[in-house]
Amino acid sequence: MMREMVARELMRNRLRTALTVLGVAIGILLIVSLSSISEGINVMVNQEIGFTTGLISVIHSGIDFQNIFYSQVDEGLVQEFSAIPGVDDTSGFIMGFADVGWVGGVDFDKMDLFSGFNVDLDDGRWPESGADEVALGPKAAESFGVNVGDGIKINGKEYEVTGISRESEGDSDSAIITSIATAQDILGMEGKVTMIVVSPANVADSRDIADYINEVYSDSDDVVAGTDEDVRKFAAQMTGQLSAMTFGLGSIASIIAGIVIMNVMFMTVRERRREIGVMKAIGATNRQVLVEIVSEAVTISLAGAAIGLFLSMFSVDFLNIFLGSRLAVITPGLVTTSVLFAVFIGIAAGIAPARRAAMLNPIEAIRYE
């Protein structure tokens, strides 16, 4: 019964309802579109942290984790770090962009160091160290239209495809994976790596080893070491600030939409005074009247949220095309937050008009013309 009444009242003035819904939709569109960037950064950082869980990461000082592609560390430090007491193993790692996409350079003999880098071959073999050979993620292979044994040009040079990895639903699906030496040649990073990972013999010693590297090497070699927990804290702080800023910008439009909803509901209550008076005269309680008016406001907000979320899928795709990456991401948490925010706006905007409607004197309301 309540649902039918709410639907009938909203359809009574379709144009006004549609414009109000559109206002909410624009607010939600802005919230989701802007926040999708910080959500994408958070997802990316968590994936990268997964590669080095339990390890110490050493990168160029002054480079934060979101700009790690710009990090260049002397490859010779890999062997030096391995001699530090308490260190079990070390390895370099390269990340960068070539003309055809994302390139990763790894030491295939030490892939077990990267606990989160669970990439297995679906076909072929891993490239030989220093050879003009690459392995491709399944999406990259499909994009290039190549199979094992074919060749692809990277930065104008021909490389043989020796393997195609199994789909992992991660960034590696679109990557070009090769040896460190070959990646250095492709990216023009001779003698350099993006990051050095240090595996402690005892995880409990990670903090002490990181502190030792920072004390001994930070000034002379311009590097900074951190545990995965350090990176996680920095990422949480960075994305938290970005999320608050973007959510705040989008919320301004939503709050304006809430004010519009409140104004519409006040107009609705004024136009329906006689009808509300009749409802109360035949037994409707103040609570029932209040619930109906608030329900109408929440329904408008939810309709706007649904349209805003639908439109945001297209806006996020546009953002990714503009940014040249899949950085912007709509996560389930972002969807949930947006819907709850829309419900909050609807309730907040509907309470005052609903209270006015509930407090109407039925006799005076019925006499209202």
| 9 and 150 together in one domain | no
| 142 and 184 together in one domain | yes
| 252 and 191 together in one domain | no
274, with CB counted inside 10 A (0-12, 13-18, 19+), is: middle
Q: Output the pTM of the full model.
A: 0.57
Q: Domain boundary residue among 177, 193, 221?
A: 221
Distance of alpha carbon 162 from alpha carbon 157, whole angstroms:
16
| 70 and 148 together in one domain | yes
Please check whether residue 125 lies inside any domain of the structure: yes
Note the pLDDT of residue 160: 93
| 261 and 312 together in one domain | yes
Please check whether residue 57 lies inside any domain of the structure: no
Distance of alpha carbon 153 from alpha carbon 100, whole angstroms:
8
Q: What is the pLDDT of residues 139-162, one digit of tens each?
A: 888 888 989 989 899 988 999 999
User: What is the DSSP-derived secondary structure letter of residue 113?
Assistant: G
Please check whether residue 343 lies inside any domain of the structure: yes
Residue 245's DSSP bridge partners are none
Structural domain containing residue 213? 62-221
Q: What is the pLDDT of residues 126-143, one digit of tens each?
A: 999 889 999 998 888 888
| 133 and 204 together in one domain | yes
Please check whether residue 55 lies inside any domain of the structure: no
> Number of structural domains, the chain?
2
| 306 and 274 together in one domain | yes
Note the pLDDT of residue 173: 78
Distance of alpha carbon 231 from alpha carbon 218, whole angstroms:
17
| 200 and 267 together in one domain | no
| 205 and 262 together in one domain | no
| 188 and 325 together in one domain | no
**Which of 284 and 202 is assigned the larger pLDDT?**
202
Q: Domain boundary residue among 165, 199, 221?
A: 221
| 265 and 200 together in one domain | no
- Which of 352, 343, 356 is CA-nearest to residue 271? 356
Helices (H), the chain: 2-12, 14-51, 77-82, 138-144, 180-187, 206-221, 228-271, 273-281, 286-323, 332-358, 362-367
Please check whether residue 53 lies inside any domain of the structure: no
Distance of alpha carbon 237 from alpha carbon 246, whole angstroms:
14
Please check whether residue 150 lies inside any domain of the structure: yes
Distance of alpha carbon 65 from alpha carbon 86, whole angstroms:
25
Please check whether residue 188 lies inside any domain of the structure: yes
Q: What is the pLDDT of residues 85-119, one digit of tens each?
A: 998 889 888 988 888 888 988 888 887 776 555 57
Please check whether residue 180 lies inside any domain of the structure: yes
